Amino acid sequence: MGIKQPQQKIYWVSGKGGVGKSTVAAAQALAFARKGHRTLLVELGEKSFYRRVFDRDIDHQPTQVGDDFFISRWDGEDCLKEYLLHLFRVEKIVNLFFENKVTKSLLQAAPGLKELSILGKITSGVRGVGPTLNFDRIVVDAYSTGHFQALIKAPPAMAEAIPFGPMGEQSHSIIGVLKDPRISRYAVVTIPEELPVTEGLELAAFLRAQDLPAPRFILNRHLDLPFGLEDLQPLRQNDFVVYLETLLRRQNEFESRLKSAASPLETLKYSWKPSAIGRIQDLAEAIQVEEGT
């Protein structure tokens, strides 16, 4: 029986592919864990990214990787199976359903079904449905922009296609959780470059259009240079300096563009650590950790 988790908060992390979303999401989760929150970092899809980072097998059931820090990898099929088991309670029926060729095809192609199952699982603690999800904080390394939008659109689309039955009801309760600012927080990760910034801003507009809480913007890979463009100017004969100038100019441009559209803007300093784990630890120290409700 599901046990409702009233204090649970869900952090959704998205952004254009290549901006360091997974690293930032892990850093956020680690930061929460360090503050004593029992935290679950969730990655989506069939292949694990964090497996290589933490050198552990990452699967459906939470794997502990640190104090108060757990990671799970959830995909549509596993989540749906778990949900149906919860609904029907008889394992035999559910297995028969899943071992069926027809079901497999349906699951792969059926619009929104996988997305809905994943969202259902992520929000199950808050809604008190399914196996207990005993965590204070859930941080979701969600898909990059396009697929993330498809994920968010699945419940309303499903509610329209199938308004009746448990599926329809679940869709509505999931939407409720996504919209509740006390529970769901959104973060758009970007870097000081054209496409990531544009897509990030478009993503924020999309969230607004879906009536979801406004996201916070995280400008990742920010070069905190102890000098400015004026200092570099006289040194231009050096090719590295020219490169630094280009980077700095570009960074300044996008930083101000973001600040005018998304205030306050959180910046995360570029980490030079050679390992992903090292970078996650660096970012965990700098990233904002909200307290209270």
| Binding interface with another protein (CB under 8 A) | 16-19, 45-47, 52, 84, 87-88, 93-94, 96-97, 100-106, 108-112, 114-115, 143-144, 146-147, 149-150, 157, 161-168, 193-195, 198, 225-227, 231, 234-235, 238-241, 243-244, 246, 250, 272, 274, 276
Residue with smaller CB distance to another protein, 84 or 284: 84
In three-state form (DSSP H/G/I as H, E/B as E, the rest C), the secondary structure along the chain is: CCCCCCCCEEEEEEECCCCCHHHHHHHHHHHHHHCCCCEEEEEECCCCCHHHHHCCCCCCCCEEEECCEEEEEECHHHHHHHHHHHHHCCHHHHHHHHCCHHHHHHHHHCCCHHHHHHHHHHCHHHHCCCCCCCCCEEEEECCCHHHHHHHHHHHHHHHHHCCCHHHHHHHHHHHHHHHCCCCEEEEEEECCCHHHHHHHHHHHHHHHHCCCCCCEEEEEEECCCCCCHHHHHHHCCCHHHHHHHHHHHHHHHHHHHHHHHCCCEEEEECCCCCCHHHHHHHHHHHCCCCCCC
Least separation, in Å, of the C-beta of 8 and another protein?
Answer: 25
Residue with smaller CB distance to another protein, 34 or 85: 85
Residue with smaller CB distance to another protein, 136 or 199: 199
Residue with smaller CB distance to another protein, 241 or 265: 241
Least separation, in Å, of the C-beta of 273 and another protein?
Answer: 10
Residue with smaller CB distance to another protein, 8 or 271: 271
Least separation, in Å, of the C-beta of 127 and another protein?
Answer: 16
